[in-house]
Amino acid sequence: MLKYILRRLLIMLPIILGIIFIVFSILEFTPGDPVSMILGQDATPELIELKREELGLNEPFLKRYVTYVLNVLQGDFGNMYASGNSVGEAIARRLPVTLELSILSILLAVIVGIPLGVLSAVKQYSVIDIFSILFAMILSAMPGFWLGLMLILVFSTKLGWFPSFGVGDGLRSFVLPCITLSASYTAVIVRMTRSCMLEVISQDYVRTARAKGATEGRIIGKHALRNAMMPVLTTVGMYFGALMGGAVIAETVFSLPGLGTLLVSGITAKDTPTVLGCVTVIATSISLINLAVDVAYAYIDPRIKAQYASMGLVKVKAREQR
Amino acid sequence: MRRKGGSAGNENQFVDIWRRFKRNKAAVVGLVVFMFIVLMALSADLFFNYEEDVIKQNAMERFQGPSAEHLLGTDQYGRDMLARIVYGARMSLLISLSVTVLGTIPGLVIGFVAGYFGGKLDSVLMRICDMFMAIPALLMAITIVAALGPSVTNLIIALSISGVPSTARFTRSMVLRLRGEEFIESARAVGTGDLRIMYKHIFPNIVSLTIVNATLSLGSMILASAGLSFIGLGVQPPTPEWGTMLSNARNYFTDHPALLLLPGAAILITVLSVNLFGDGLRDALDPKMK
């Protein structure tokens, strides 16, 4: 198992280098010169040249890319153009907020989504089924930031229950942002759980369990749920990336000091090191989450664990085929 | 379901699909609502004057409630809300439809080439896709817009690019599955060229799924463009777009909730109708595939 994890971490490395390369090139080959942004309109050509030299912008593209990657591997994300502050420190300060936000949102989505999906499947075509289908449909058609603003309107402005911005209030500050961010995620989980459960419930081994006289709770909890959870888990992992994208918007709505707002401010200031650093860190954490999901598979499904023991890369291949 | 080249059974097939589609009431409602929104967006000029109703500020008429003159009231600059929402629909549909088409075509080509020829080319293309897909689509779009500068064109470019890798992967998997089928093999056996096989034998078999996929992504593109506009990276004011309108209403909505409710409801209804239609289309095209 450990060998498998190590192997996957090794495969991750070129992908992350590729991500940095892509973002590096996007920022490189587009109009807009960061130096004139820093120095303003009326900088003399000599001054601009001096600053370019100082920032190392006169080096060839590939050389700068390699230098950047080597620095990142040592934990150095460079300095912000405008303030000269370390990007790495800013990221380290803000990453916990984004992590807390996204982990709490996933938890919320799972806690609401899975039971609703299971109930909906077990009592197919009942009132609760119709309710949860409608619920999921509306959540997935709703823009997250709009939901956020509505929540602010009702729960901060009118009722004053939760703060509408910042993280000064501990966990309470995260309630509204988490609902906002988890909305579309919940919808996906409800739908996925429902359809997987419906499929599993109609399988022979569930009928066998019934025939043996197992209680309904045991059938659902022990036999059906465990098998239905596999695709749901995949979905949870797959949509984590989308969640991180949504976090940027949720953080903007609630002015949370997280990676998303750092990224947006970096973009507005055309601060390349900030943008690069944020995207790199976010993409890396997504890859790590996907790895964690793959490892979690093995714990849920003993069959896969057996596969790992024999040939380490089966699952990676299986995913590629899809 | 599967058409093995030729176009003999074409008409029948569409009748069949329509018959199955009609049975799904929710999907029909979705289609009707979506058609209504499209018609509304297309005929906007018949009811409103863009310069007069949508752009021109009118300090005397700020924050009005609904009236005969302004059916949905006015916004913070005294502009007619209904007119702005209708023109917002035009913007949203223009962006999301172009993104869906522009994102699908390159994805289709890449997926086709990778899936059909396989080998080294396939590996290289798919590794590149992996890298692109490791960056969330929305984040990718944000980065590209940031680099190009915020404007409608750049928003369309950014969202299109961010949609290419997933379409490529999806197409590739379909092509891979078909490539091994007997009818492709027999076509090759009688000496049909690669291009002809792709165009005549594989493409007709994946076109319906591609259309379904594109329809299903239309809704998320509407949401993404509204989201980007909301954080200031899309359509710039005073051009009306639902996300931009919501962003501009941020300072006023506590006292004037209508400014928040109306554009949001417009997005919700549009995306909901597109999604219902897309789901129905998917089920109608292939009842087995849920």
* pLDDT on residue A61: 80
In this complex, how many residue pairs, one in chain A and one in chain B, have their CB atoms less than 8 Å apart? 141
Q: Which residue of B has its CA nearest to A255?
A: B231
- Nearest chain A residue to B148 by CA: give it: A30
Q: Is B146 within 8 Å of A279 when comparing Cβ atoms?
A: no
Q: Average of pLDDT values for A219-235? A: 79
Indicate the residue of B146, B233, B272 with minimum beta-carbon distance to A137.
B272
User: Which chain B residues are closer than 8 Å to A248 by Cβ?
Assistant: 138-139, 142, 231
A307 pLDDT tier (thresholds 50, 70, 90): low
Would the pLDDT of B1 be above 50?
no
**Which of A141, A287, A321 is facing B275, going by the closest CB pair?**
A141
Distance from CA of A310 to the nearest CA of B (A): 25
For B76-134, how does the pLDDT look when each residue is reduced to its tens digit (9 = 90+)?
776 877 888 888 898 999 999 999 999 999 999 999 889 888 888 888 888 888 778 87
> Whole-model pTM?
0.83
Chain A's closest residue to B130, CA to CA, is A15
Rounded mean pLDDT of A99-116?
91
Q: Which two tokens stand for residue A149?
A: 């603003």
Distance from A279 to chain B by nearest Cα, in Å?
8
Does the domain at B26-50+76-289 match CATH 3.40.50.300? Answer given as no
Which tokens hold the place of A260?
């998303």
SS3 (DSSP) at A234? helix
Q: What whole-number distance in Å separates Cα of residue B167 and Cα of residue B113?
A: 13
pLDDT at A314 over 50: no
C-alpha distance from residue B257 to each of A136, A321, B44, B65, B86 (Å): 25, 49, 25, 11, 19
Summary mean pLDDT of chain A? 81
Res. A315: pLDDT tops 60 = no
Q: Does B219 touch chain A (CB under 8 A)?
A: yes
Is the four-CA dihedral A132, A133, A136, A141 of positive or negative sign? negative
pLDDT at residue number A284: 85
Across residues A27-34, what is the average pLDDT? 69
Q: What is the mean pLDDT of residues A287-311?
A: 71
- Pick A287's closest partner by Cβ from B134, B137, B146: B134
pLDDT score for A32: 62
pLDDT at A123 over 80: yes
With a cut of 90, say whether residue B289 has pLDDT above it.
no
With CA atoms as reference, report the closest residue to B175 among B151, B199, B191, B154. B199
Which residue of chain B comes nearest to A191, CA vs CA? B290
B290 has a pLDDT exceeding 50: no
**% of chain B surpassing 90 pLDDT:** 18
* Cβ-Cβ contacts under 8 Å, B271 against chain A: 141-143
Interface mutation target, options B223, B268, B288, chain A, most CBs of A under 10 Å? B223
- Report the alpha-carbon distance of residue A298 to residue A294 in Å, rounded: 7
Compare CB distances from A275 to B126, B146, B263 and report the shortest one's residue. B146
Alpha-carbon distance A169 to nearest alpha carbon in chain B (angstroms):
21
Q: What is the pLDDT of residues B7-58, one digit of tens each?
A: 445 667 778 888 888 888 888 999 999 999 999 888 888 777 777 777 777 7
Cis peptide before B238 (omega within 30 of 0): yes
User: What average pLDDT does the segment A258-278 reach?
Assistant: 85
Domain ranges in chain B? 26-50+76-289
pLDDT tier for residue A316 given thresholds of 50, 70 and 90: very low
CA angle A48/A50/A51 to nearest 5° reads 65
- This model of the complex carries an ipTM of 0.82
For A81-90, the CB contacts below 8 A with 24+ separation are A81/A34, A81/A37, A81/A38, A81/A55, A81/A269, A81/A270, A81/A271, A81/A272, A81/A273, A82/A38, A82/A269, A82/A271, A87/A273, A87/A274, A87/A277, A88/A277, A90/A262, A90/A274, A90/A277
